[in-house]
Structure 1
């Protein structure tokens, strides 16, 4: 047992030592709740530390001037006018070790306590049935803070709890148990709010009420409004006592205008005085809203009464007519159409008014009987006048009261002044108009303007410039300036149409996209449904694939198409267009298109080339077929029918083949063979046998003499024959065909020998010499049947 006792003693001793060590270094007190703005002190025990200590407030070092030293082991921190809602304080040694800390929270007192009595049903009249108190508290209300209303009076000084709440207001029914605590006839009544939680308890300032009805909130008044010809009367009913005064407020404002702020008139009523108030300076034919609230002396205001609307009548004595006219071109019968318009009478007037227009010609010596009176409705009103000057008078009549105004219409061609150099410009939604005054003196100017030609507005000015406001946005206006003279008017001058403001560019619609494999043509149209659109200075075309980057092409505002290049074949693209102007931008809707796999022009080129190739091949086939048909149908040439003959070898040197011309009846332009001169060339053609070997011929047969004698013909002289032979040999000198490979003509070119010329012997000898100098071996044509059995020898021509 002894070891266990020793262990227990050591444990208790260690605990005591540890507690003493903790007490040596720490901050006291812990977790404070103090009132906002109050002073407090904190102690830091520094027995376990050496040297100076310092304090931190939310990790900010506190100035040493707020520190005092009680003794060598205690440092005191003084906090004055502490207002933070929550703060953390730490006491630290010189080397930065935290010796201790605490958290300080603040609370505030409830303030601005206001208690009043009221009726839950606003239509009931009598003793109020509810008591309500409101107050403010800086600390957010929570469930752990309980508020209690405490009340006392001069007759009962002890405080009574009226009601409790966990919010910053409390409502309790007046009567029952509370009626014994608060007497309605009591005086010097006071109310206090107590806020209490587990951490603090605070009391508000006391609200003192001299009389109980000073805290009585009246029921809302009942209001009535009556209209008269020149004023408007507001009356209301309210609850009052036999003693004391009642103050009331009447609030009113004009309907449908942002420039009419709410106005309030105050009326103080003595006991039993009737509540009413007269309004005589309101605008004619305008709708006003009225509402009233009242309160006893020093009591809270009642709720505002329900709103009451009233339309004022036309005050004829305050009407100021402003009459103007617009003169149109002359009609066919010489008369003119004049549009008469006026202001000064609101269109909202419900009064029964009568309008009449009187036309008075101003031509000299005009009788009174020429004056016309025309009934008219509301403004504007159209009338017709002649080419002479007229005075138009408008009369507005209601019951027995009337107002008038007149305007001058100049005669056609009348010499009157007019303004020049009229200019108009737009600036931030208003139109600035300026002009040059005429040479003649004028009293002022009338500036009329319209956006539709039907409804006109006009202003008067004594200067040569004016600013037109209250215009419709993005609307084109026509403006006219007319000088005024004493009782008359000059001629009107019109400015160029101008917009009140300019908006974004017109709407853009993509109309077509035509794409190939690597490019596309995008076309669009610009459509403006309204005027006053900004002038387009440039377009930007944006295009991209589904996952690719967005590309763009910029161009000026004169173009409405663009070529997109370097596209990817067989790919879907998104394209849209932005139009830019000085006043903004407009964007079209998105268009989707897909490029083609191949260039359609390449396919077209292939088709065209293929077609042309097929046509050419077909043409060549037809030509070849035609030529083959002619060649295949042509008979094999027979040398027996040729004009070439072979002389016998036993004949004289002058013996030779007789050459006679022949003709082919089926010869065509493709069959003709043209002669060819061969100089210094001897061509020898040997006939071949059936096996294709050259046939043997005698020397005389292979040699063609220079001069071929003509065989003896009946009726011919030998001399004549000799000359003919010389002539034939000289003239014919027949060349061979172009080559042996020529497949189109099997004959040698031949000339006719039927031409006979008379030559002298000298000429014949000269020809013979030439033939000796230039020897041409004629080509001999043979056929296979010439070498057949019995036909192997050529027939010899009898030279006799």
Structure 2
């Protein structure tokens, strides 16, 4: 048991030593100190050897550090002004951060100012009731700050940098001391006391004004505050015209208690509204609020300047010229009735005009036009202007030039050889509203022109009693803008190229296009640009990928700006459209050739398969020659023209067997056609007929064959018929040997067979009928 005693003592010692050993760190943590104060901190190195300090990541000089022991080192910072300082302790050997802390500074409230004033400034009388103090406090603290103002035994609390004491009229009788205290959960600080003289912080009530307007000036008077009897005071008067063209007029005036409170303002415009403001203050005291009054000035006759001018139009067909007169309008704010009249001469009646313009007609002669203005029926002003005669020799300016820059137009010209009293410059942008100005110099600068509008500017020399001819400069724009707007973009795409064309709508005062830039790219591809000359608003894009979507837009570039079109998409073709068109044309031609050849072959094959019965009119038919017929004699004769005879003779085989012998043997039953043919084979068997193609039958022909006793006649139809449908025996000359013929008729061995052409429909529809 006693052998374990040393071991137990060793363990207990180690435990106690570990409980008293401190960790590596910096103390104290998160300090708040006043700006300019000193701060001391300590680093516990816990056996890491020598250390060094950093302030906001910058190494601190070792002279500010003090070694207390091998594991403790202190640092003293004097006159710390950083709003926030981060300090860290580092080991020299291992460069490890052993600990750190943050020191934040706070400042006192400063620059305290107070004002002793009335609760209602306008109605304030007697001693002011309220005291308002304000101050500055440079503090970026995340914690809420509460302020307390101490003055004349009173407290005023606020969480902002100003505070008002509501009832101080009886408590401010002499110099007062004001202190501001700032307090948070971590610190508290008070400002230095501030001493105030009550009359140096007294804010009097604004003065009450009385403004009187006369024909040529304004008279301003105001009341004096009772508090101004204490010391000297100062007042400030401001006068500003409501039209904003007249600069502001300011008067500072220091007044003694016995001085009057009034001022006269001269050089004011006629019939114009003016704002008059006055404020006053005791010596070294703050200004009172402004008191304001608005007044309308009266018409000052000496200030009325009509500046009469005219524009003469070209003469009409009857020689009459229209003169457009213009003058400076008397302000409409002027009270009273104004009348304007134009007189052309002694023998002319007066023309009643409007307030600023008038149109009159004159002939080719010279005139002096007189403008008269009456105010409340009393003559106010009168001016005249000269209109030269047509063709009158008068001088004019030369080498007139105009240039513009940023909305300002500069006009220059050369004076005529004759001495002039001045120049009248007039300009207009629409021909309806004119502006004019008189000058004694050979140049003028025009301001306040409308944006991007073309102006016509004319300069006319003036003489003592006449005016010269006007010279007009080239139309000039007050400001040149962008090139215009794109109205249409056409794209014709092929497989590997596309033609892009566009139209640009130029507007008034549009910039002149220097060149175009075309931007295009495939989807998710690089942007490619091509520059095109301004004279050719189209381009052909090459080296494109077939069957690909592209986007394109165009920029018009001028010296005065750039206009961009909307972005347009297109797709290239899979194949070249020209190749497809050529292939289609060639295929169509081949198909037409094959169809033509097939049609020809089909027609020929049909003719071969369906060969028609030969046309007898195109062949020759005759009796077969008898056996004793000599070779040299031909018995065949061509058919006659069917149009001449519709009935042809038909020789039927086996006539004796036919059930209708009358039809078989023809018109004469006593004669045997075969015997007749045998005897009279040299005679004509068929009546010649006219050519069917040359003459068509126009009327029906009836052939009646008469025979003694009973006879049968075959009548032809009155319709146009095939000559082979209706045939009759042709009348033959009487036989020379009738008796012989009758004797030979019964003999069958004497009969001859004759072949004839017969159509299948020759006996249809009753086209041939029998009559007895």
Q: TM-score per shorter chain, which class?
A: 0.5 to 0.7
The answer to whether residue 157 in structure 2 is matched with residue 164 in structure 1 is yes
C-alpha deviations, 1:44-73, integer Å up to 9, x for none?
79997877x654322222346666899999
C-alpha deviations, 1:649-694, integer Å up to 9, x for none?
xxxxxxxxx9x9x9999xxxxxxxxxxxxxxxxxxxxxxxxxxxxx
Q: Secondary structure at the match of 1:624?
A: helix
* Contact 1:57–1:90 under 8 Å retained in 2: yes
Number of the residue aligned with 2:705: none
1:601-612 matches, cutoff 5 A: 601=581, 605=585, 608-609=588-589, 612=592
Number of the residue aligned with 1:14: 17
> CA 1:242–1:476 in 2, change beyond 3 Å: closer, same or farther?
closer
Number of the residue aligned with 1:83: 81
The offset of 1:313, in angstroms, is 3.3
* Contact 1:510–1:591 under 8 Å retained in 2: no
Work out which of the residue numbers 178, 186, 193 in structure 2 matches 1:191. 178
Distance in 1 between the 2:174 and 2:37 partners? 35
Q: Secondary structure at the match of 1:82?
A: coil
Q: Secondary structure at the match of 1:116?
A: strand
Number of the residue aligned with 2:197: 210
* Contact 2:215–2:270 under 8 Å retained in 1: no
Work out which of the residue numbers 468, 476, 482 in structure 2 matches 1:504. 482
Number of the residue aligned with 2:109: 110
Number of the residue aligned with 1:783: none
Number of the residue aligned with 1:533: 510
The offset of 1:100, in angstroms, is 6.6
1:348-497 matches, cutoff 5 A: 349=334, 352-359=337-344, 369-370=346-347, 373-398=350-375, 402-497=380-475
The answer to whether residue 558 in structure 2 is matched with residue 578 in structure 1 is no
> CA 1:291–1:195 in 2, change beyond 3 Å: closer, same or farther?
same
The offset of 1:134, in angstroms, is 1.3
Q: Secondary structure at the match of 1:616?
A: helix
> CA 1:231–1:439 in 2, change beyond 3 Å: closer, same or farther?
closer
The offset of 1:84, in angstroms, is 0.9
* Contact 2:329–2:355 under 8 Å retained in 1: no
C-alpha deviations, 1:589-643, integer Å up to 9, x for none?
44566677785746863784476346524652465358647977679xxxxx9xx
> CA 1:40–1:564 in 2, change beyond 3 Å: closer, same or farther?
closer
Number of the residue aligned with 2:304: 319
TM-score (norm 2): 0.67
Number of the residue aligned with 1:558: 535
Distance in 1 between the 2:205 and 2:480 partners? 55
Number of the residue aligned with 1:231: 217
Identify which range, 509-518 or 391-400, moves more after superposition: 509-518
Contiguous gaps of at least 5 residues in structure 2: 616-620, 622-631, 640-772
C-alpha deviations, 1:710-755, integer Å up to 9, x for none?
xxxxxxxxxxxxxxxxxxxxxxxxxxxxxxxxxxxxxxxxxxxxxx
Number of the residue aligned with 2:270: 284
Distance in 2 between the 1:26 and 1:596 partners? 77
The answer to whether residue 322 in structure 2 is matched with residue 337 in structure 1 is yes
1:36-75 matches, cutoff 5 A: 36-38=35-37, 54-63=52-61
Q: Secondary structure at the match of 2:514?
A: strand
Distance in 1 between the 2:192 and 2:109 partners? 8
Aligned pair count reads 621
Distance in 2 between the 1:569 and 1:348 partners? 75
> CA 1:333–1:170 in 2, change beyond 3 Å: closer, same or farther?
same
> CA 1:624–1:537 in 2, change beyond 3 Å: closer, same or farther?
farther
RMSD between aligned residues = 4.9
Q: Secondary structure at the match of 1:426?
A: strand
Distance in 2 between the 1:198 and 1:94 partners? 38
The offset of 1:199, in angstroms, is 4.1
Q: Secondary structure at the match of 1:34?
A: strand
